[in-house]
Structure 1
Amino acid sequence: MYLARRQRTVDAASVGQLLLHLPPFVMSLLIVATISYTLLPSMGWVAVLVWLSSGALAFHRPTESVLARHLLNLRYPTPRERARLEPIWREVTARAGIEGRTYELWVEESDDLNASAAAGHIVSVTHFSLASLPSSHLAAVLAHELAHHVGGHAWSSLLGEWYALPGRLAWAAVRGVARLGVKLSRRLNGCLVLVLLLAAGSVVLAFAVSYWFVILAMLVAPYPLAAVARRAELRADQHAASLGFGPLLAEVLQAMHTQEPGNNALAASFAARGEAGAFGTIVRAHSRRSGTLGKLLASHPDYHTRLHHLAPYLEPSR
């Protein structure tokens, strides 16, 4: 089997994700450093260094297993599921020139037509997709997820989220204190609660004044981050299409788009082609965000956009 010399790359989408996560990372670093040097004045740098190096756990397989089981709610495939998945996965990775054993296959108990790539080695598919999709179409879906790993989208997204976590927890704590203050004001002396809130607010305000540029960047970052995530999806589609899965992937996307509750068009479309596999459950449509802000924050492009970008791969070769 031909193996590509470069098994992983860092494309523009993954670089963009890392750059756009810098403001939350800086905020988290400030919070971790402040807490560390407050609790351990002489050894605070050790705690900061441990936190900075913790991102390497994204490629640590035992840690990935914990992540898959307890945070992503995944499980290992049963022997029967593995017998179906592995030949399809071998075909996909062989076409891409990728060592398939580098990645671990997982299953999500879900009635959605979906799959995902996470951390450094996780590729998952829903039980519904595995039980219902014809093998050729399942291969197209897995090729899309493989592209997220090859392009660096999966690990860069995870690292960005991980290093942004302290900042988000601090923001959640501020909001929690504010809610608690409102509740206490109804039961305790209003003046006492007001003093406590002013004391806490002054600390937050002083931090905001000193690092306003970081906070402003954090408020703006979700919009370009969502745009980069949409671009990563299009790049993954195009990578799968370049491997020859373009028409199959387009059929899956089109079926997902046209599927409505009470209409088993997805099953009928594949059954009419004589493909293997039976659809026992209606595919749930992806949630659609409403409004302009909702569209700007969507992490996936709409189906028309994805099909438009796949169009060059669907034209018959001359």
Structure 2
Amino acid sequence: MSQPSEPPYPGNPRQPPQYPGTTPPQPEQPDQPQYEVPSPRQPGAPDDLEYLNPPGHRVHYKAYQRGTDATAVGKLALHLPGFLMSLVVVLMASGTLDTVTGLPYWIPTLLWLASGALVFHRPTEDYFARYLLKLQRPMPQEAARLEPVWREVTARAGVDGRRYELWIENSQDLNALAAAGHIVGVTRFALERLPSAQLAAVLAHELGHHTGGHAWSSLLGYWYSLPGRIAWQVIRQIVVFTVTFASAVSCAATAVLVLVIGAVAFATTVVFYGLPLVLFAIPYLMAAVERRSELRADEHAAALGFAPMLAEVLTTMHAMEFHTDRPSAEPSTPAKLLSSHPDYPTRLRRLRPYIEAQR
């Protein structure tokens, strides 16, 4: 005896008909960070920053305005191989110049060594900020918004804020930067959208990069390793071009050339007791030190009383990144190891003790 068949409904025969007023169950969506773009701060809006050092209030400055913490020393140590390679390049270029023009080789070398002082030279910093970092001086209304917040941050830190230069980056990203010896920059988005207390937390973080020596050590290490990096790129391009040209001629020529390059690389490694192999680990070590410096700057802001505000900024940045630049796949392990910033959950977890202490 055959069993009665189900009546054929439109669509999937196993699905019951949808009656008016009913909606099919929706699949559960994965949890996502709540994201809300900070609205522009209206002129005359209430200021949420607690000003402990208003104008006219006496400020006590620390005897030592800035220092050099372990991360700054680590950066300089990791830049040492690049510096030595650059020194060899500069000496070779100076020797060639000596042969051609008769100029003593030690003069260009000495000038290059002394050029690192330009990190703290104000006119050079101004050029660096304007033309390399693409920053702008604050307009009068921007300065009126930025300077009181900066004064409160530096006063809490016991630092003379007049020693630093405030700049604006014409960007719609929530970001800020500390560079050279005295540059502190914030994006126009941060200036116009963040409440004063959160803006103070961002500025306190950047001040921590300066007082900890992170900003000047990064720029100094980059400058002194630049000739070596340029020479390495030139050598790399020559090798690639030579191998490509040889492969167009014959496979035998390519094999011989690869063997010669390999023999030279092996001999260099043996002569220098394997030290050139350390160069492959330096980018990963440098990224680890950079991540540590970010955590140090967070701690500096938290110690000044801005831990809850900084946590709010980091939460907003995390949500903005999730919605605008969400990767299609989880970053690979090498990409994580080469990241210069810790992930947001790690930074928020490190701020938790400071937040709980303020409750």
Tell me what 1:22 maps to: 80
Runs of 4+ in 1 over 3 A off after TM superposition: 182-214, 283-289
Letter in 1 for 2:320: Q
Residue number among 244, 247, 250 corresponding to 2:311 in the alignment: 250
Tell me what 2:63 maps to: 5
Q: 1:217 to 1:108 in 2, by over 3 A?
A: same
Runs of 5+ in structure 2 lacking a partner? 1-58
1:78 is aligned to 2:144: no
Runs of 5+ in structure 1 lacking a partner? 263-282
Tell me what 2:185 maps to: 124
Residue number among 278, 291, 299 corresponding to 2:332 in the alignment: 291
Indicate conservation of the 8 Å contact 1:20/1:225, yes or no: yes
Total equivalences in the alignment: 298
Give the secondary structure class of the aligned counterpart of 2:351. Answer: helix
1:101 is aligned to 2:162: yes
Indicate conservation of the 8 Å contact 1:137/1:249, yes or no: yes
Letter in 2 for 1:99: D
Cα displacement string for residues 244-298 of structure 1 (whole angstroms, at most 9, x for unaligned residues): 0000001111121123676xxxxxxxxxxxxxxxxxxxx7679998211111111
Deviation at 1:23, TM superposition (A): 1.1
Indicate conservation of the 8 Å contact 1:113/1:284, yes or no: no
Give the secondary structure class of the aligned counterpart of 2:146. Answer: helix
Q: 1:288 to 1:210 in 2, by over 3 A?
A: farther
Give the secondary structure class of the aligned counterpart of 1:124. Answer: strand
Give the secondary structure class of the aligned counterpart of 1:315. Answer: helix
Cα displacement string for residues 133-173 of structure 1 (whole angstroms, at most 9, x for unaligned residues): 11110110000000000000000011111111111111110
Indicate conservation of the 8 Å contact 2:269/2:277, yes or no: no
Deviation at 1:316, TM superposition (A): 4.0
Trace 1:1-318 onto structure 2 (pairs within 5 A): 1-40=59-98, 43-182=104-243, 184-185=245-246, 210-211=271-272, 213-259=274-320, 290-317=331-358
Indicate conservation of the 8 Å contact 2:181/2:215, yes or no: yes
Deviation at 1:200, TM superposition (A): 8.5
The structure with the largest helix share of the pair is 1
CA distance in 2, matches of 1:286, 1:139: 30
Deviation at 1:119, TM superposition (A): 0.3
Deviation at 1:195, TM superposition (A): 9.3
Deviation at 1:181, TM superposition (A): 2.8
Q: 1:46 to 1:260 in 2, by over 3 A?
A: closer
Cα displacement string for residues 172-226 of structure 1 (whole angstroms, at most 9, x for unaligned residues): 1012213333554577799999999999888777656544644222221111111
What's the % identity of the aligned pairs?
Answer: 55
Deviation at 1:8, TM superposition (A): 0.4
TM-score (norm 2): 0.75
Deviation at 1:31, TM superposition (A): 1.6
Q: 1:7 to 1:44 in 2, by over 3 A?
A: same
Indicate conservation of the 8 Å contact 1:26/1:214, yes or no: no
Q: 1:128 to 1:222 in 2, by over 3 A?
A: same
Indicate conservation of the 8 Å contact 2:247/2:253, yes or no: no
CA distance in 2, matches of 1:68, 1:285: 31
Indicate conservation of the 8 Å contact 2:68/2:212, yes or no: yes
CA distance in 2, matches of 1:285, 1:158: 31
CA distance in 2, matches of 1:188, 1:150: 58
Indicate conservation of the 8 Å contact 1:140/1:246, yes or no: yes
Q: 1:238 to 1:43 in 2, by over 3 A?
A: same
CA distance in 1, matches of 2:224, 2:134: 22
TM-score (norm 1): 0.84
Indicate conservation of the 8 Å contact 1:89/1:139, yes or no: yes
Q: 1:124 to 1:289 in 2, by over 3 A?
A: farther
Please give the root-mean-square deviation of Cα atoms over the aligned residues, in Å: 2.9
